[in-house]
């Protein structure tokens, strides 16, 4: 990692370099220099993102686009160039690194602690979506093809189930049945899009509250981070992912799945912030927002189960059944959304 730090144009000498954050994909380190400057250095996951030049072209284009549009420079992520003036660095082992300027006085939360926090995160993702409406989408590479294509996620699940490499399927029959019983309706979002009923936008695609930076003092949202999956997508993906993560009564990896469920007040707070900042949403999009929430939760639970069946090769795990716990909280949330469906639909 040291070699990587010195590859970037930082101000001063690095004095501390600590592991930072809770992402499941990349590894992040916080660098502080003797002049008091702070940076975030990230090792990009090469297994998840096979085409890093394309990925970094996206990130470079999106951050520069955002920087020209925000009211204050702190409201956009800024890449630190390498000594050669590039956006990223490849070390001798082939590992790929990038560095961001730290966003001053910012803080990142793992859970919303109030309706206001969650409402703020909605405004951040909503504003991002509105801002990206003017971005030339044809410039973007698809960093992970079919990322939110739920039927394709089902195909991957069936393949993992068929292979059952670690003989884990027999222990998770209930979970498997849950997803199989909901497979038929799971193509709704891609079907609506294919039928031309939902517009393809430039979306974030990983719209979780922990991908938003807040101002430490005011607790207002400052900007969205984790731009690796910014690609053409549906507004319902981002709305859905936000609800899945932030409006669940339980943490994503809560070990007691009985605690999972939809917090309807949180759902409504997010909806309010999202609608306020996205006036260009069509009636059809708004009508299907609850479907986005349910299907993206279902899809994410399915991805956790698929990874469990494959031997925990994708998401970072800290304990043997981590992916299974995550899968179960998503199941609990989907079930509760189904129970509260009328209230969800009436809120939009």
Binding mask 215-234 for Mg ion (x = CB under 5 A): -----------x--------
- Residue numbers at the binding site for ligand GN1 (CB under 6 A): 23-25, 48, 206, 211, 226, 228-229, 252, 300, 315
Least distance to ligand GN1, CB of residue 43, Å: 13
Least distance to ligand GN1, CB of residue 48, Å: 6
Q: Is 32 exposed, middle or buried (0-12, 13-18, 19+ CB in 10 A)?
A: middle
Q: Which is nearer to Mg ion, 231 or 281 (CB)?
A: 231
From 42, 127, 129, 211, residue interacting with Mg ion (rule: CB under 5 A): 211
Binding mask 13-42 for Mg ion (x = CB under 5 A): ----------x-------------------
Residue that is written with structure tokens 């990587």 in the block: 4
Least distance to Mg ion, CB of residue 306, Å: 20
Spatial separation of the C-alpha atoms in residues 41 and 7, rounded to whole Å: 11
Specify whether the CB–CB gap between 26 and 44 falls below 8 A.
yes
Joined together, the tokens standing for residue 149 give: 């294509």
Q: Which is nearer to ligand GN1, 10 or 213 (CB)?
A: 213
Least distance to ligand GN1, CB of residue 196, Å: 26
Q: Which is nearer to ligand GN1, 75 or 252 (CB)?
A: 252
Q: Which is nearer to ligand GN1, 107 or 345 (CB)?
A: 107
Least distance to Mg ion, CB of residue 73, Å: 22
Q: Of ligand GN1, Mg ion, none, which one does residue 301 interact with (CB within 5 to 8 Å by kind)? A: none
Least distance to ligand GN1, CB of residue 143, Å: 8
Q: Taking Cα atoms as reference points, which of 43, 38, 126, 26 lies closest to residue 74?
A: 38
Q: Which is nearer to Mg ion, 150 or 229 (CB)?
A: 229
Least distance to ligand GN1, CB of residue 223, Å: 15
Least distance to ligand GN1, CB of residue 71, Å: 26
Told to check if 205 binds Mg ion by CB under 5 A, we report: no
Q: Of ligand GN1, Mg ion, none, which one does residue 325 interact with (CB within 5 to 8 Å by kind)? A: none
- Which of the ranges 27-35, 67-75, 205-213, 316-324 carries the binding residues for Mg ion, by CB under 5 A? 205-213
Size of the site for Mg ion (CB under 5 A): 3
Q: Which is nearer to ligand GN1, 82 or 330 (CB)?
A: 330
Check the CA dihedral 219-223-226-232 and report its sign.
positive
Angle, CA of 192, 150 and 344, to the nearest 5°: 65
Q: Of ligand GN1, Mg ion, none, which one does residue 25 interact with (CB within 5 to 8 Å by kind)? A: ligand GN1
**Interface with Mg ion (CB under 5 A):** 23, 211, 226
């Amino acid at each position: 990692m040291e070699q990587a730090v010195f590859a970037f144009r930082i101000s001063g000498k690095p004095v501390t370099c600590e592991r930072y954050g809770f992402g499941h994909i990349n590894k992040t380190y916080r660098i502080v220099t003797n002049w008091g400057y702070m940076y975030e250095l990230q090792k990009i996951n090469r297994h998840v993102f096979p085409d890093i030049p394309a990925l970094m072209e996206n990130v470079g284009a999106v951050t520069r686009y955002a920087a020209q549009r925000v009211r204050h420079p702190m409201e956009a992520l800024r890449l630190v160039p390498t000594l050669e003036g590039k956006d990223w660095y490849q070390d001798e082992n082939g590992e790929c690194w990038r560095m961001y300027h730290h966003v001053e006085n910012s803080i990142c939360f793992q859970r919303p602690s109030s309706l206001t926090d969650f409402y703020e995160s909605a405004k951040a993702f909503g504003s991002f979506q509105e801002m990206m409406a003017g971005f030339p989408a044809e410039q973007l590479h698809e960093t992970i093809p079919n990322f939110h294509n739920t039927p394709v996620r089902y195909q991957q699940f069936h393949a993992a189930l068929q292979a059952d490499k670690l003989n884990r399927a027999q222990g998770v029959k209930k979970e498997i049945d849950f997803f199989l019983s909901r497979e038929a309706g799971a193509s709704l979002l891609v079907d609506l899009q294919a039928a031309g009923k939902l517009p393809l936008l430039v979306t974030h695609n990983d719209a979780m509250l922990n991908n938003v930076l807040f101002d430490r003092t005011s607790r207002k949202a400052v900007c969205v981070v984790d731009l690796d999956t910014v690609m053409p997508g549906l507004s319902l993906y981002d709305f859905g992912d936000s609800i899945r993560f932030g409006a669940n009564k339980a943490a994503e990896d809560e070990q007691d799945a009985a605690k999972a469920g939809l917090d309807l007040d949180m759902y409504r707070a997010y909806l309010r912030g999202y609608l306020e900042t996205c006036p260009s949403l069509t009636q059809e999009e708004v009508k299907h927002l609850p479907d986005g929430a349910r299907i993206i939760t279902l899809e994410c639970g399915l991805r956790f189960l698929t990874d469990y069946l494959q031997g925990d090769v994708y998401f970072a795990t800290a304990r043997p059944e981590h992916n299974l716990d995550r899968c179960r909280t998503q199941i609990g949330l989907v079930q509760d959304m189904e129970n509260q469906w009328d209230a969800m639909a009436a809120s939009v």
